[in-house]
Structure 1
Amino acid sequence: MSTTLPESQGLLMLPHLRIQNANAISSPLTHGLPSMTAFLGLMWALERKLCANGTGMAFNSVGVICHDFDEQVTEGGYTKAFRLTRNPVDRDGSTAAIVEEGRIHLDITLVFGVSSETVLEKAEARQTLADTVAETLAGMRVAGGSIVPTRGADAKQGAELIRLAEDSTEAGKQFRRLRRRWLPGFALVCRDDLLAQRLASLRAIEPTATALDALLDLSRINWRPEPAAASDSERKGVEWKPEPRAGWIVPIPVGYGALSGIHPAGSVKNARDSHTDFRFVESLYSIGQWISPHRLGGVRELLWYGHSDVESGLYRCRNDFAAAPHA
């Protein structure tokens, strides 16, 4: 896949989807909103379903705007735990093991970059296709969660497919109108640049610092000593102040890295798909940032897309926000 955002003819918007019991544990180190790998997987699964139904539409990228969330954790106190379900007893009457699973309820808007001949047709044809997509999505899982229909309306309400303007000036006006409709909410973008900058600053002090050190340093609240203001009659000291942060930044999983070579299809026992080549992988991490949609400069800053480098063993989600001139 390409290392740049694929060109799309239109945007398919599915506003304010209410997701119940989505997966809140996306990797061994993080929790919260489902990983972008889950939303890219949803995009590809939706594309396959539509192709099977004879709807010719290519999905190129996906963006997520979160309007509200309710992570299912215990209330009160600084340390929290997931609310777990108690399973029925075993056949012999003994207590079944409790497998920890994190769940989260979401109110999100999904924005897909798409290409289709229908995008170039009249508004009526585009709306019919958007309704078909919404109806198909209503019967699918979103990051393991279920879509809850809006009370008093069907699940496809609000779905819209628009054609992207080709002129840059008109495209800018078009996006400014769209981003106002996504408020209030926050869009997740990738900030690989912040991770690289922090790694460089750590290595200036400690040459053996690793990318993991930079990730952990960015993921926590750091207090740094600063010279305290003091009069001549007072002894000078230091003040401990929290380090300024570049917005609402969080550690996120962004894909997978290879742990082994590629095994031929069917050669690995209990693989989920016996017709596809197999490879053992582990999670890849980077830094993400939640940003208000009105601060996005264009649609390319919002959308995520897949990138595979088989030779290097990297399979990851990419976003071009950090490549924008202002970043």
Structure 2
Amino acid sequence: MSGEIKTLLILPHIKVHNANALSSPFTIGFPAMTAWLGATHALQRKLNHDGFTDLSFIATGVVSHQCALQTHKGVGDYVSSIIGTGNPLDKNGSRSAFIEEARCHLDVTLLVELNGLTKSDEVAVLARVTHHLQGHMKMASGDIKGFHEPYIQRVEDGEASDIAMLTRKLMPGYVLVERRDLMIAAMDDGQDAMDALLDYLVIHQSCTKDDEGNVTWQAKRKTYQDKPAGWIVPIATGFHGITELGEAKNQRDPETPHRFAESMVTLGEFKMPYRIHSLNEIMWHYAVVPESNLYLCQQTHTQQKLASTDDWSDFY
């Protein structure tokens, strides 16, 4: 079934060095969705400042081609250690005190849905995008070391041939999609949020012994509807306000109300692009739920599923 024609800005194979891998206070790995939507929002503001005032970025899709987490696990070690940076010596020749930061090197492709782009502005917009990516712009707190040439592509959402043409260009890679439905299913069975999160991440080891004494080990993860749930990972998708709106001393923007917040973590899945049948499955956008003090990055199909939910924070 065909749908509306969407204009996409494709930013292929962006090489990001030393991106922030500490996606929440208790998870480490692929950067949070807030980092990617923040990067594309920053790019939109730069383009608006360049004179393209009608241009707006509606949603963003993230495709991971490579993620190299900077950790080390030695022989016989039970846990991995963070590989620290080589900071300069202090005036006494000693190592200065520093806080360990989890980092990763990335190769990602970003898909950005545009609104307000005219045919006559395409060449100029792509030139400015290239300029900004080559400048001092960062992504997920990491440095951009290189990228392939950005381009514009128009896709009729729901048209199989258009989606197939797009997803072929994203291979090999994995698109990140939200799997809050797994959390909901587990919590409907009586688990709390943390147990529901961990239940899909834990690997259960079991062994069997045959008549000859040979031992065979097997690793198993939880299934969903009698099928493997997929490549499930914890992802940070926004923030939950824990104080009232107000002013704070030395806040960055004195004209904007401030509040303290905590990270919102749920489940996500890395999917091969050929399994995608609609752009709505992979595109993320901002959403604010004032009555629950939530500031989220979420997907359209997830929002439609939970439109009748009274308290969305129950599922994080």
What TM-score does the superposition give when structure 1 sets the normalisation length? 0.80
In structure 2, C-alpha distance between the alignment counterparts of 1:162 and 1:19, rounded to whole Å: 23
Structure 2 partner of 1:23:
20
CA contact (8 A) 1:127 1:161 kept: no
Name the SS for the 1:27 alignment partner. Answer: coil
Structure 2 partner of 1:305:
285
Structure 1 partner of 2:192:
210
Q: CA deviation at 1:138?
A: 2.7
Structure 2 partner of 1:46:
43
CA contact (8 A) 2:24 2:265 kept: no
Q: Work out whether 1:107 is the aligned partner of 2:89.
A: no
Structure 2 partner of 1:234:
none
CA contact (8 A) 1:20 1:145 kept: yes
In structure 2, C-alpha distance between the alignment counterparts of 1:185 and 1:135, rounded to whole Å: 26
CA contact (8 A) 2:234 2:267 kept: yes
CA contact (8 A) 2:7 2:154 kept: yes
In structure 2, C-alpha distance between the alignment counterparts of 1:181 and 1:163, rounded to whole Å: 14
Q: Which amino acid aligns with 1:106?
A: L
Q: CA deviation at 1:95?
A: 4.0
Structure with a larger share of its residues in strand:
2
Q: Which amino acid aligns with 2:32?
A: S
Deviations 1:166-207 (A, max 9, x none): 7x5xx3321110101100100000001011111222x1xxxx
Residue 131 of structure 1 is aligned with which of 127, 138, 149? 127
**Cα separation, partners in 2 of 1:270 and 1:222, compared to 1, 3 Å:** farther
Residue 295 of structure 2 is aligned with which of 286, 292, 315? 315
**Cα separation, partners in 2 of 1:89 and 1:10, compared to 1, 3 Å:** same
In structure 1, C-alpha distance between the alignment counterparts of 2:31 and 2:112, rounded to whole Å: 17
CA contact (8 A) 1:36 1:317 kept: yes
**Cα separation, partners in 2 of 1:127 and 1:176, compared to 1, 3 Å:** farther
Name the SS for the 2:36 alignment partner. Answer: helix
Structure 2 partner of 1:34:
31
Q: Work out whether 1:292 is the aligned partner of 2:292.
A: no
Q: Which amino acid aligns with 2:257?
A: D
CA contact (8 A) 1:37 1:254 kept: yes
Q: Work out whether 1:195 is the aligned partner of 2:183.
A: yes
Q: Which amino acid aligns with 1:117?
A: L
Structure 1 partner of 2:237:
254
Name the SS for the 2:82 alignment partner. Answer: coil
Q: CA deviation at 1:131?
A: 3.2
Deviations 1:210-253 (A, max 9, x none): 1122112222113589xx9x9xxxxxxxx987244401001111
**Cα separation, partners in 2 of 1:224 and 1:306, compared to 1, 3 Å:** farther
CA contact (8 A) 1:198 1:218 kept: no
Structure 2 partner of 1:68:
66
Deviations 1:139-180 (A, max 9, x none): 21001111112xxxxx5x4311123337x5xx3321110101
Q: Work out whether 1:164 is the aligned partner of 2:155.
A: yes
* RMSD, aligned CA: 2.8
CA contact (8 A) 1:307 1:316 kept: yes
Return 5+ residue gaps in structure 1 as ranges.
1-6, 150-154, 204-208, 231-238
Identity %: 35
In structure 2, C-alpha distance between the alignment counterparts of 1:105 and 1:242, rounded to whole Å: 29
In structure 2, C-alpha distance between the alignment counterparts of 1:82 and 1:23, rounded to whole Å: 12
Structure 2 partner of 1:143:
140
Q: Work out whether 1:182 is the aligned partner of 2:141.
A: no
In structure 2, C-alpha distance between the alignment counterparts of 1:242 and 1:13, rounded to whole Å: 37
Larger Rg, first or second structure (1 or 2): 1
**Cα separation, partners in 2 of 1:241 and 1:51, compared to 1, 3 Å:** closer
- The list of structure 1 runs, each at least 4 consecutive aligned residues, that deviate by more than 6 angstroms after superposition, is none
Q: CA deviation at 1:74?
A: 1.2
Structure 1 partner of 2:213:
none
Name the SS for the 2:285 alignment partner. Answer: strand
